[in-house]
Structure 1
Amino acid sequence: MSRYRLDPTPAQQAALLAQCGHARYVWNLALEQWSMWTPDKGPTPGYVEQARQLTEARGAFGWLRAGSQTVQQQALRDFDQAVRNFYAGTHRRPTWRRAGVHEGFRIVGSQASRIVKLNRKWAAVNVPKVGRVQFRLSRAVPDAKSYRITRDRVGRWHIAFAAIPEPIPAPGTGEVVGVDRGVTVSAALSTGELLTCTGLSDREQERLKHLQRRLARAHPGSKRRQRVRAAIAKLHARAGDRRKDWVEKTSTDLARRFDVIRVEDLRVAPMTRRPKPKPDPEQPGGYLPNRRRAKAGLNRGILANGWGLLVQRLEHKAAGRVERVNPAYTSQTCSACGHCAPENRENQAVFRCAACGHQANADVNAAVNIAAGRAVSARRETPPVRVSPKREPQLATSA
């Protein structure tokens, strides 16, 4: 909501890359000091001591002094906050930052509000040691006290203002929707809608495969390898942009149409981990097949459909209106009579109840169960489904 495309000149791009290098260098030094702690040694330097060491380093090295002290000190503050979050258990352990991957820095304070509107489409922000850098006014600039400048792997520059938008108000209709996420169908709604996330086209996938083969034949460190890597990164960035666009539009539409949104409580990160190797007991040092290639294809399908990002954005936009439902046996339970059996799911797309004969799309049937909040225990016991008393009794095994 607060991200804009930067348009720096070639000279400004070089200055911005230098600032990114300084911030990354300071972050990695702080991480190295923190990683050297052992039980037999004293505490590692905190932010105050590291800020003093940074002042001494800027006096000793001219290349570091040429950068902005605000950017470098903010990198230390960000690392200190990352360590606090790690000890609090809310975030993972801080990791190393690499050139070409983690390119960015943050500005906090009065400089973040120095924004000049040039015309209807363009504005400029004042970056320390760089000057005024233009960015595209795709929407109104929020009132923020900090911003972050980043560069992706394709070479695009962005500026993001630290402003959290207000949640989307509920429509007040009392409607509840269930969302079943899948690989073939990205999101199936209990209303019967089937939503598909747009990815790379068949022609783009063929080009990606061709570029990956060229990359395998290119010599390490050659200019051809750099060009091929840039072309591959461009395709991946295009797929990521389309996926984010689909997630934003879908989450906004659901938040505006429904009061309560129920989704499966899936742990996407463990689901997309690579399978563990299976040692061969008959052959020491050997391993048995573990279907890692099939699992890799499934992982790509899950990540390409944005399972985690969709729920995350729903919780942001429909705060307090998103409920997580136990996903156990939702795809094997009949949404009409509540009968749960593996034979109900004929294939990936068709659901046919073996008890009442109810037939529907398998993903839509699961979405209806999710909308009803129907959790199934390990014994496949479901809560009783309200059935009209005028309905004729059905045979246990229908044709």
Structure 2
Amino acid sequence: MLDIAEELHRWCGRGLPFAVATVVATGGSAPRQPGAALAVDGEGNVIGSVSGGCVEGAVYDLCREALSGDGPGTLLERFGYSDEDAFAVGLTCGGELDILIQRVDPAARPELAGALAASVAGEAAAVARVVGGPADLLGRALLVRGDGTRDGSLGDPERDRTAGAEAHAMLEAGRTGTVTIGADGSRCGEPLTLLVESSVPPPRLLVFGAIDFAAALVRAGRFLGYRVTVCDARPVFATPLRFPEADELVVDWPHRYLDREVQAGRLDGRTAICVLTHDAKFDVPLLQRALRLPVAYVGAMGSRRTHLERLDKLRDAGLGELDLSRLHSPIGLDLGARTPEETALSIAAEIVAHRYGGSGAPLTGARTPIHPVPPSPHRRLGPPAA
């Protein structure tokens, strides 16, 4: 649901009911992950997607029924492939989808409206909805903010505390998925399955080196949803005119800027660092620090000869082989890129492949899953322990 938060937030502002269908669980080759959503307003307008086109028509009809009152206001529906019903529901690609369809009246569901508002504002928040358990609890929701405060209720204080703790842990990890609470001996009552959707600020892409390749990479990073910073020590190159699409432009020595960001706790386990300066006096002190941080990705531009010389300098600076093994250099995937835009695509593709554990190999003829389950690190970095 939070993946279409901006439009749903506007719908909430109108105060009119709408229906939202959210992917709860997937199996097989289902193309969308838990949390993907499709919503329909009272006029029949539709936004979002739950299957990339496979079952959209059937889900749309269920949303319309939930809005009209002809069907239940909240239901859990499973779509799966079989010879008999594949074409009836359009799920011809195989796989299974469990989808929660829910009518939302903004005034009556402030916890959902609050989750949408927090997501649009770029604040850390998670919403936990009951997707398995007693029928009378289906769709109940709990909003958990970054500071641990909660809105809404799942009907029991102990259940709320337990669900709140689980949701907050998933929020800290930046994860969306299901979790089960309550079991024999638990004070939470009978087991409940919750879909927890996390909304965290956009991941950061730090681009060091104000060159033409950097300008293209800024555009690629923005397209992928990153908050992009460009840093260069040379004020004549690091100008708004050359980088109008950067979220932040910094004139400073790269390693000093990185130190400040770490001390301020503004980097986390989703951060990607791209070093395009191609100059040892900038590269070495910057990479000496970056390769010791638990960020998602560190890449550096340069020829293979430059890469080998850089490794020797980094070894002389005290880095071990484990640290050096984290460096993606020469940066990017082998696409045969020539232009700055093609090179930016190569770098962006490597960042995505590394984020989700992709091989970068063609899918044609491959036997690996098309949509592997990604790791979801989200650990904020602060000053090193004393």
Q: TM-score, normalised by structure 2?
A: 0.23
Structure with bigger strand share is 2
TM-score, scaled to structure 1: 0.22
Report which of the two has the higher share of helix: 1
Greater Rg, structure 1 or structure 2?
Answer: 1
Q: Which has the higher contact order (CA 8 A, sep 6+)?
A: 1
